[in-house]
Chain A
Amino acid sequence: MNEMTNKIIGTPLDRVDGPAKVTGQATYTADYRPTGKTAEGFIVEAAAAPGKIRKIDTQAAEASDGVIAVLTHHNAPKQNPYGTPEEAGRFTQSHAMLESDHVRHVGDPVALVIAETLEQARHAAKLVRVEVETSEGTFDQFAADVEIAKPDSLDGADEVDTSTGDFEKEFAASDVTVEASYFTGAQHSAAMEPHATVAEWDGDELTVHMAIQIVAPGLKAFANTLGIEADKVRILSPFVGGGFGSKLGVHNDAILAALGAKVTGRPVRVVQTRRNVFSNAPHRSKHRQDLKIGADASGKLKAISHDSLAAMARNYPFAEAPASPTRASYFAPAIKTTHRVVEADIPRVDSMRAPGEAIGTLTFETAIDEIAEQCGIDPVEFRLQNDADRDPNSGAPLADRRLSECIREGAKKFGWDGRVTPGRRREGNKLIGRGMASAIRPNFLVPAEAEVVLSANGQLRVRLDMTDIGTGTYTILTQVAAETLAIPVDQITVELGDSHFPASSGSGGSFGAASCGSAVFDACGKLSKLLQQRLSGKGIAANAISVEGDRVRAGGNDYALADLVDDGALTVKGAVDPSEFDHGEEEYSYGALFSEVEVDVDSGEIRVRRLLGAFDAGRILNEKTARSQLMGGMIFGIGGALLEESTMDTRYGSFMNRDFAEYHIAVNRDVPELEVHMLEGFSEKSNPLGSKGIGELGICGTGPAIANAIYEATGCRVRKFPIHMEDLLQHLPQG
């Protein structure tokens, strides 16, 4: 085997798409330039909702300079009704736009202005006059008279409610109890690239360049919306400027661009403005989470209940599962979890990075900190002694349970030396506190296919409809191919984000690398076998082969590839079948987060001074990009704990902080030097590569580690997130 390519999986290979990204040559959707002259579409949003459009006057807009068309429900092409077919689910059902006079939520598109230039379209959009006759809406699931319902299903969890043991009995028999309600704010993924689409029709065939995480279901969404066959649609998404769940499926810009292109006969580009993103892209609902935890005097957990209340956007079935991590974090004889929703007339609620765990561990791990303290037990020790040896909910074995290992490793690296009395650690005008929390996130494997094409010149092309949303897919798949086929990295080209390529998992749920990596592994393994067979056919013994340049090396000799491939190239398909890894054990990635914060005694301003994570994500496929993923997750965690909240004026159902000046994501200076430790591992039960999901793991546990540190700094338990200075002000010492 070639020294260069042996064991390249796991090494910190620089991103293969790095040079394109640092020179501005990577083409994201809005950078794509069609051959025909592109028209620009600009969205007109409803100012009030829910209701019916009483009057829409487009005359001034149509007469404005450069305007080609103004689409409204009066003249938009016919589509299948929104949300049909119902059984198709949210990724593939009709996303019809401008289909009727019905306005779902504030910000819902009511017109699309199409003009020659962006400046012209943007101005003309301001000239469209819309009158909405509003009806009474539901905007706040915490209001008194709302209808609370059990959702049909949850995102990323099998059961909506669970119950093991007798919660009431165990809770009543507990020596120590914590009972509290926690509130987490609405959030937006707010990827740096706003949602964007360029749509072009060629006869009855539609080509869309768009920012999307999972390509294949998107085809069906267009088909179900526009009433065309899925094979008449092509989606291209070679570079995606971040997704974090907000680009899993097809969103409003995509359908509007397709409609606009149909009507004008031109390529139409619709790029959501940043304000659009905060009403036309999905968001994470605000939640109330009620927690009750009981333990015996020795600090053994006896009873846990976790009840979640979210908003669900009307006619868009999605419910997050914050109580899901509670089901498997620690052992207790009785664990009860429920999820409830209120249908509301608000923008779409959907997945945001680490759905469930991001806000579930935030509240649950804060409550665990409280009960550990009440038991008088160090939070590290408390978690270790309550670790589960089987799934507390199902009783199933836990594959590679390494939570305690992460906690011990994290504590050691952090220099955890126990708790101090809250408010006692002080440096000048700063109160200092430390805290920790566990991280847990389910591991998934989903179906994926890939195709590899080896040319006689030795160039290997790897193709699948997978996307690289910043996760490093281009690079990781290069490494998998290089090691499996024993071929140098510079002979490999990974081609992604084209629906003409084999259907894959797409990017989401932290399952992309494992699923697609396994499919590429399979394809390259088969290709290697095929080459061996062909060599054998020529009487050459070849137990192990490698490719270098245009030659195959086997048994100390090398042979021309040209003699082994048909018509200049060999094409082989591979796939991963998750059912082969269905072994009845519950799989999770694990971690432990430790933080140190400072709180200003004058203002209550909170800053993170240290943040450390020890993680188990099985085998690491690229040490460099994996670390980056974990750091990115940890920064999302900082945001959730301290900064991010989409605030809604519940009189109107309108998000008010719809820009980056007011919706605060962390800036560079908010982030200290992050300490990331990855346990060595190979999770053989997960997939052929031995890896586990990593993209969402870093968020889990980070928020509560910070919240628990704030408690140690100030003695103040804040049960709403993000935690702001005013939540601490009354608890600060005088100067």
Chain B
Amino acid sequence: MHAMHPLRITVNGQEHRADIDPRRSLLDFARDSLNLTGPKKGCDHGQCGACTMIVNGRRINSCLSLAVSHEGDEVTTIEGLAEGSDLSALQRAFVEHDAFQCGFCTPGQICSATALLDELKEGLPSVVSSPDKLAEMDEEIRERMSGNLCRCGAYNNIVAAISSVAGDKS
């Protein structure tokens, strides 16, 4: 018999303490332990991005991370991006630019995009960046959002939505 394991974690600004099965992924912890069902399970193996969350400022595939390994971490899910009924700038832009169709990948896309804006600010390179500067914005976004599959094919609109917000910020 393998023991449950204690966990202290902050999700969307709220601290949680729980005894959990060490096998539980961060994704299943959010969905099944905290009832935060915004993050989605599209593949459960880090191959689609629907489960993307922001952990300590960096986006990760929450399906491939054990919840117990996030002791003391700060996690943001899609539920943590709007302020009450005020959507974040990216959330608004996704609606305006029709950056989704079925919407299943959308929580992951938006969490990913939220972290992406910070990565650009931080100057983190991507494979399309030159040694000394970033590539043209849309090309950077296309590459950096390639970890979030969208079977409906909203890619162009996702780029437009992110670009509109990144443009506002720069």
Question: Do B103 and A23 touch across chains, with their CB atoms under 8 A apart?
Answer: no
- Known contacts A15-B95, A241-B102, A665-B149; is-contact A274 B154 (Cβ 8 Å): no
Among B79, B145, B151, the one with the most A-chain Cβ atoms within 10 Å of its Cβ is B151
A273 at the interface (CB under 8 A from B): yes
B77 at the interface (CB under 8 A from A): yes
Q: Considering only CB atoms, which chain A residue lies closest to B95 in the complex?
A: A18
- Known contacts A14-B95, A14-B96; is-contact A19 B102 (Cβ 8 Å): no
- Known contacts A118-B32, A632-B152, A632-B153; is-contact A193 B44 (Cβ 8 Å): no
The answer for the CA separation of A191 and B153 in the assembled complex, in Å, is 11
Q: Mark A451-492, 1 if CB is under 8 A from B, else 0.
A: 000000000000000000111100000000000000000000
Question: Do B151 and A191 touch across chains, with their CB atoms under 8 A apart?
Answer: yes
A24 at the interface (CB under 8 A from B): yes
Interface residues of B, CB < 8 Å — how many?
Answer: 60
Q: Mark B133-161, 1 if CB is under 8 A from A, else 0.
A: 00000100111011111111111111100
A31 at the interface (CB under 8 A from B): yes
The answer for the CA separation of A192 and B107 in the assembled complex, in Å, is 12
Question: Do A472 and B101 touch across chains, with their CB atoms under 8 A apart?
Answer: yes
- Known contacts A23-B82, A668-B145; is-contact A636 B41 (Cβ 8 Å): no
Question: Do B41 and A242 touch across chains, with their CB atoms under 8 A apart?
Answer: no
Q: Considering only CB atoms, which chain B residue lies closest to A638 in the complex?
A: B153
The answer for the CA separation of A120 and B24 in the assembled complex, in Å, is 10
Interchain nearest-CB distance for B22 vs A (Å): 9
- Known contacts A24-B78, A194-B41, A668-B145; is-contact A469 B102 (Cβ 8 Å): yes
Interchain nearest-CB distance for A558 vs B (Å): 31
Interface residues of A, CB < 8 Å — how many?
Answer: 64
The answer for the CA separation of A134 and B8 in the assembled complex, in Å, is 51
- Known contacts A118-B32, A659-B43, A671-B156; is-contact A15 B142 (Cβ 8 Å): no
The answer for the CA separation of A24 and B105 in the assembled complex, in Å, is 10
A74 at the interface (CB under 8 A from B): no
Residues in B whose Cβ lies below 8 Å from that of A334: none
Among A12, A17, A661, A668, the one with the most B-chain Cβ atoms within 10 Å of its Cβ is A668
- Known contacts A27-B37, A117-B32, A659-B47; is-contact A631 B156 (Cβ 8 Å): yes
A119 at the interface (CB under 8 A from B): yes
Q: Considering only CB atoms, which chain A residue lies closest to B85 in the complex?
A: A19
Question: Do B43 and A274 touch across chains, with their CB atoms under 8 A apart?
Answer: yes
Interchain nearest-CB distance for B104 vs A (Å): 3
The answer for the CA separation of A535 and B106 in the assembled complex, in Å, is 46
A22 at the interface (CB under 8 A from B): yes
Segment of A2-10, A591-599, A622-630 engaged in the interface with chain B: A622-630
Question: Do B24 and A669 touch across chains, with their CB atoms under 8 A apart?
Answer: no
Question: Do B44 and A273 touch across chains, with their CB atoms under 8 A apart?
Answer: yes
Question: Do B104 and A192 touch across chains, with their CB atoms under 8 A apart?
Answer: yes
Question: Do A17 and B103 touch across chains, with their CB atoms under 8 A apart?
Answer: yes
Residues in B whose Cβ lies below 8 Å from that of A123: 23
Residues in A whose Cβ lies below 8 Å from that of B32: 117-118
Question: Do B79 and A24 touch across chains, with their CB atoms under 8 A apart?
Answer: yes
The answer for the CA separation of A65 and B143 in the assembled complex, in Å, is 43
Q: Considering only CB atoms, which chain A residue lies closest to B33 in the complex?
A: A117
Residues in B whose Cβ lies below 8 Å from that of A28: 40, 104
Question: Do B37 and A31 touch across chains, with their CB atoms under 8 A apart?
Answer: yes
Residues in B whose Cβ lies below 8 Å from that of A22: 78, 87, 91, 94-95, 100, 103, 106, 110
Residues in B whose Cβ lies below 8 Å from that of A190: 151
Question: Do B24 and A119 touch across chains, with their CB atoms under 8 A apart?
Answer: yes
The answer for the CA separation of A18 and B100 in the assembled complex, in Å, is 8
Residues in B whose Cβ lies below 8 Å from that of A629: 101
A244 at the interface (CB under 8 A from B): yes
Question: Do B153 and A636 touch across chains, with their CB atoms under 8 A apart?
Answer: yes
A554 at the interface (CB under 8 A from B): no
Residues in A whose Cβ lies below 8 Å from that of B145: 668
Q: Mark B82-124, 1 if CB is under 8 A from A, else 0.
A: 1000010001001110101111111100100000000000000
CB<8 Å pairs between A and B, sample of 7: A14-B96, A18-B95, A22-B91, A119-B21, A193-B40, A660-B42, A667-B147
Contacts A21-B100, A240-B102 given; 10 further ones with Cβ under 8 A? A18-B94, A22-B87, A22-B110, A33-B37, A123-B23, A241-B40, A241-B102, A470-B152, A625-B98, A631-B156
Ranked nearest first, the 8 interchain pairs of A and B with the lowest CB-CB distance are A24-B38, A241-B104, A470-B102, A470-B101, A21-B103, A632-B153, A635-B153, A660-B47
